[in-house]
Amino acid sequence: MSEVLVLVEQLDGQVRKVTLELLAAAAVLGTPAAVWVGAELNEDAASALASHGAAIIYVADDAELSQYSVAPKAEVLAHLVAQKSPSAVLIASNAEGKEVAGRLAVKVNSGVITDAVELAADGTATQSVFGGSTIVHSKVSHGTPIITVRPNAVAPVESAGAGVRESVSVSLSAGAKLAKVTGRTVAQKGGRPELAEASIVVSGGRGVGAAEGFGVIEALADSLHGAVGASRAATDAGWYPHQFQVGQTGKTVSPQLYVANGISGAIQHRAGMQTSKTIVVVNKDPEAPIFELADFGVVGDLFAVVPQLTEEITKRSS
């Protein structure tokens, strides 16, 4: 079986959950081979990759690689595509992942499919478009398929891989060094799971009323060990930071559980959460369109319902 390259997503040397999901998707297509680009590969990361099926781990860990944005990753992958002729390259479908995929597609003259939610053994990708209202099957018809896969779409699978390490040395071209990263600013994070990766998301909208109102949303999220999301009305009002916006012009999330509080369910918001497996709604307006998506909904004031729910969850889980 030929190799399927998986670009590893890491944060401070820790492998992110989406990479383990991608390794499971890769196993359907061929032999999973992880590609590590960035800081030195640590033992924890290597064993996480191997225990989720990575037969090979390509390691490109020159210090220089992390000084530049996007382009070096595409260059390392292009080099491996030329050398190893993989049957596909899988990358996480997030902002940077899609850009790496795009540059790689240009470099190796291959087709690219973004936001896949499922992959079949023959390389057919399933995409869910227009806010989940349409399911599309597509296939790359030219070159090495480059596919970005959405977080939370494929379940990670524990499966022992050999995890054989092979170092890759790539001397970056001048073109890959044009945009230099000179600083990294980490906003407050507060230990919650990353929004796009979280299996539970609790969101607040205009109904939350003020920045302070998000306290009840955060408390519910924490009781469920979930992430916090917001509608654009809430982020535009400055009640919650912009990077937590869910929707057409924000993040697309597809968690196991999405709890929408004080959100009306405008088409642009739905575009970012409609494919959530289970949807719970709290809204005081029984006519709010978000109720059309609800598996379970309560017509009521979120400031009464949400704290009671949090308390009940805390009671039941202790």
Partner 1 sequence: MKIAVCVKQVPDTWAEKKLRADDSTLDRESADGVMNELDEYAVEEALRIVEAGEGEVTIVTMGPERASETVRKALSMGADAGVHLVDDALHGSDALATSEALAKVLSGRGFDLILFGSESTDARMSVVPAMVAERLGVAQLTFAQKVTVSGGAITIERATDYGYDTVEAATPAVVSVVEKINEPRYPSFKGIMAAKKKPVETISVADAGIDQSVIGASAAWSAVVDFAVRLPKAAGTVVTDEGDGGVKIAEFLSAQKFI
Ligand X SMILES: Cc1cc2nc3c(=O)[nH]c(=O)nc-3n(C[C@H](O)[C@H](O)[C@H](O)COP(=O)(O)OP(=O)(O)OC[C@H]3O[C@@H](n4cnc5c(N)ncnc54)[C@H](O)[C@@H]3O)c2cc1C
Residue 97 vs 205, nearer CB to ligand X = 205
Could you give the C-alpha distances from 169 to 37, 43, 50, 73, 318, in angstroms and in order?
Answer: 10, 20, 21, 12, 52
Least separation in angstroms between residue 256's CB and ligand X is 20
Is 53 or 250 the residue whose CB approaches ligand X more closely? Answer: 250
**Binding partner of residue 149 among ligand X, partner 1, none, CB under 5 to 8 Å per kind?**
none
Closer residue to partner 1 (CB): 24 or 112 = 112
The CB-of-254 to partner 1 minimum distance in angstroms stands at: 14
- Toward ligand X, which CB reaches closer, 103 or 232? 232
224 binds partner 1 (CB under 8 A): yes
Nearest to 22 by CA among 76, 87, 93: 93
Where does this chain touch partner 1 (CB under 8 A) — which range of 28-36, 44-52, 57-65, 294-302? 294-302
Residue whose token pair is 């995890």: 163
Partner in contact with 107, chosen from ligand X, partner 1, none, beta carbon below 5 to 8 Å by kind: partner 1
Q: How far is the CB of 194 from ligand X (least distance, A)?
A: 17
Distance CA 226, CA 200 (A): 5
3-state secondary structure of 220: helix
Query: Binding of partner 1 at residue 289 (CB under 8 A)?
Result: no
List the x/- string, 263-282, binding to partner 1 by CB under 8 A. Answer: ----xx---------xxxxx
Which does residue 135 bind out of ligand X, partner 1, none, counting CB within 5 to 8 angstroms by kind? partner 1
Tell me if 184 contacts partner 1 by CB under 8 A: yes
Select the span of 32-40, 44-52, 57-65, 106-114 touching partner 1 (CB under 8 A): 106-114
Give the residue with the Cβ less far from partner 1, 46 or 103.
103
Which tokens hold the place of 284? 């005081």
Residue 190: CB atoms within 10 Å: 9
Residue 316 site contact among ligand X, partner 1, none (CB < 5 to 8 Å, cut-off depends on kind) = partner 1
Closest CA to 6 of 70, 66, 64, 49: 49
Which 3 state secondary structure label does DSSP give 255? Answer: coil
Among 313, 268, 260, smallest CA distance to 285 is for 260
Tell me which residue of 173, 181, 171, 170 sits closest to 59, measured CA to CA: 170
What is the CB-side half-sphere exposure of residue 96 using CA atoms within 13 A? 11
Sites of contact with ligand X (CB under 6 A): 205-207, 231-234, 245-250, 262-264, 266, 268-269, 272, 282-285, 288, 301-303
State which H helix or E strand residue 112 sits in: strand 112-119
34 contacts 69 by C-beta, under 8 angstroms = no
Candidate residues 30, 32, 38, 132; the one interacting with partner 1 per rule CB under 8 A: 132
> What are the DSSP calls for 277-296, one per residue?
SEEEEEES-TT-GGGGG-SE
Q: How far is the CB of 251 from partner 1 (least distance, A)?
A: 9
Q: Does the footprint of partner 1 cover residue 87 (CB under 8 A)? A: no
Q: How far is the CB of 274 from partner 1 (least distance, A)?
A: 9
Residue where the block lists tokens 């600013």: 185
